Amino acid sequence: MVVNTISNDKALDQLIKMSNMVGADTALVQGGGGNTSVKSDDGCNMFIKASGSALKNMNKEKGWRRMDIAAVLSVLADDSLASKNAAERESEVVARLLWACNDGLGAGARPSVEAHLHALLDKYVIHLHPVAVGAFVNAKQGKQRVEEIFAKEQYPPLWVPYVDPGLTLGKKIEELIAAYSKKYGRKPPVVFLDKHGLLVSDANCNTAVKIVTAVIDKLDKAMPKVQKGGSLKPSRDEITSAKLAVRKAFFAATGKYSPVVHFENANVAAILNEKDGAKLLAAGSLTPDELVYSNGPALYIEKTDADFIGKKLKTFIEKNQRPALAYAVKGIGLLVACEPKTASVINDIQSGSCFARMAAAQMGGIRVLTEKEAQFINNWESEAFRKQVAGAKSGGELTNRVAVVTGAGSGLGRSIALGLARAGAITIITDIDEAAASATEAMIKAEMPGAMAAAVKCNVTDEQSVENAFAAVMDKWGGVDIIVNAAGVAPAYSLVDLPVDKWRLSLEINLTGYFLMARAAARIMIKQGMAGSIINITSKSGLDASKNNTPYNATKSGEIHMARGWAMELGEHGIRVNCVAPGNVFEGSKIWNPDYIKACAKKYGIKPQEVIPYYVNKTHLKREIKGQDIADSVVFLCSDKARVITGQVIVADSGQVMVR
């Protein structure tokens, strides 16, 4: 295979080593951005980072493409592209760069959209967005300061004024490099991209890395003093309240669910304490990365009131056409409304942006993307692709709704957790058996690599354990939209043989457990103000009693009546409460264990191996019920399709108990 030959290429090894080295330094790389390239010794091919991948994660299997340099440069030479409109032109450039790949990897990963910039420079190219560089390239006096700092260099940096990225930037750099080469007899080792970042290139890999370090050192020494933010030290309750307020405001403004993640960010703390902090953040987007990943700068929030935040957010949307994803909240820090994987990228970008704004303010003031420049970025398909790859979002009718499932380490709870994840929900798997919960999490992520799921140990009968579990959910996700009570036991005894400890255990798990979990979830849902859904997994035995099953009959019937009462109480908050009453689900069940099956066989005078066929044959559909069947009922009840259904019971039993 072509790939096997390529994977042993010396140039690829050098690219991976160089990329991993600079990608691990957060002072150099903002949110995993930037790209690198290495040309082959004969100058015919170039290995370059793939779009949307992180430098630190590059390896021999992924994160790069190999390109024919002549084919890349032919894009710049094609004058016919200039006659096309921007969208059509850039779309064709993307296609042409993909065609220039000669590694046999197919179209799964795109080469960096800045491939033509790399092709114009020396053998080893490093393109980064260091915090220090951000301050200078976004300052009104930035170009002047850079020229002063590097005045004694034999080969001074090349400053590239801002133009639209893509083909326009490529042609501009081609023109400037040609002029530089004519003047100095070589290509520029250092290039500053206005409102963007830094390009460094050299014929030697180690020298290229050293140049990056030297440039940053010089800039750091010349950097205006920026105040330190210190620690804001908000309490857990304050952070939780702020998350709920932002989440509600975001939902009200966009109609979309989103987790909300909190970051303790020193640069954000500093700008929050800055006298002109609000003004600095309101100025506009500094760089394409900030616009692409955050939809602009962090929205400055003075108080954590959902209505107040909502009004500011709507104004932001009217101005920027997209909702803010980052929120600089007074006394709290940075809140980001998106999944944690992308939220950490946004945190990095906003940290660098806040520092750059404060430093640039002392160098004649900050320069931001103009409305026209920002509009180009917003409409640029290449950046949308890069964000999509980096985020790896999942989809479905419950996308980004936070769902907590009890007893999800096995059986029906596991099936429901899988079903919710397939529908796009952020799924929190709770179980007293932590290893089993983790196994369910692993199953979800193996099937759906982009899914968001987490295992949390929880004893549903213990009030403190329940509170701790929901605190963990709030810490990571910032809200709760769905709670499914699925943990349960079914001790099978005749009345005269029933031990009282088994009776009490059933009451504790099947009733107290449901109550404690629902109470904790409802408290959050009410404060959150975004409605919600509570599902009790009861049983057909809660509607039609079964023999030798006193604890199960009583508790499953009780779960139905609890749900009906909760539906009456919580309806005014838009919280819907329903039940799913499964028939006999044997698949992966802890209830249908060998001892329980023996008890059932004894009850009906049949052999243990005949028990499951016996129960299936009792249904009118003569069809065994699977875990996914119950999960589908749960997903329906949690979805907007069931928006007017509350206080009801869906009997999913293949037609055995007819509800009247």
Please, what is the angle between helix 513-528 and helix 550-570, to 10°? 10
Q: Is 433 exposed, middle or buried (0-12, 13-18, 19+ CB in 10 A)?
A: middle
Query: Which residue among 124, 162, 293, 552 is the active-site one?
Result: 552
Section 327-341 average pLDDT: 93
- The answer to whether residues 411 and 588 touch, using CB atoms and an 8 Å cutoff, is yes
Q: Return the CATH class of domain 2-222.
A: alpha beta
Q: Kindly tell me if the per-residue pLDDT of 405 is higher than 90.
A: yes
| CATH number of the structural domain 236-391 | 3.40.225.10
Residue 311, φ and ψ in degrees, nearest 5 = -65, -45
Evaluate whether 630 touches 514 at the Cβ level (below 8 Å): no
Q: Is 552 a catalytic residue?
A: yes
* Contact in structure between 266 and 348 (CB atoms under 8 Å): no
Average pLDDT of the residues of the chain: 91
- For 34-43, b/e burial (b = at least 16 CB within 10 A) is bbbbbbbeee
What is the average per-residue pLDDT within 118-130?
95
8 Å CB contact between 563 and 578 = yes
User: With bands split at pLDDT 50, 70 and 90, how would you rate the model's confidence at 616?
Assistant: confident
| Those residues with Cβ within 8 angstroms of residue 74's Cβ, 6 or more apart along the chain or in another chain | 96
Of 86-95, 576-585, 588-597, 649-658, which range is least confident? 588-597
The pLDDT assigned to 32 comes to: 63
Q: Phi and psi dihedrals of 400, rounded to 5?
A: 65, 15
| pLDDT tens-digit map of 499-514 | 999 999 999 999 999 9
Tell me, what's the pLDDT at 385?
Answer: 46
- Start-to-end C-alpha separation, the chain: 66
Bigger pLDDT: 497 vs 2: 497
* CA atoms of 196 and 285, how far apart (whole Å): 11
Give percent above pLDDT 90 in the chain.
72
Query: For residue 446, what is the DSSP state?
Result: H
3-state SS of 200-221 is EEECCHHHHHHHHHHHHHHHHH
- Ranking 26-35, 155-164, 486-495 by mean pLDDT, the lowest is 26-35
CA-wise closest residue to 334 among 426, 401, 258, 242: 242
* CB neighbour burial string for 449-462, b if at least 16 within 10 angstroms, e if fewer: eebbbbbbbbbbbb
Q: Taking residues 181-210, what's their average pLDDT?
A: 95
CATH 3.40.225.10 residue spans of the chain:
2-222, 236-391
Q: How confident is the model at residue 3 (pLDDT cuts 50, 70, 90)?
A: very low
* Residue range 444-483, pLDDT digits in tens: 999 998 899 999 999 999 999 999 999 999 999 999 999 9
Least confident of 105-109, 431-435, 505-509: 105-109
pLDDT bucket at 1, cuts 50 / 70 / 90: very low
24/643: higher pLDDT: 643
Q: DSSP string of 244-285? A: HHHHHHHHHHHS-----EEE--HHHHHHHHSTTHHHHHHT--
Q: Is the model's pLDDT at 389 over the cut of 50?
A: no
Per CATH, the homologous superfamily of domain 402-589+626-652 is NAD(P)-binding Rossmann-like Domain (3.40.50.720)
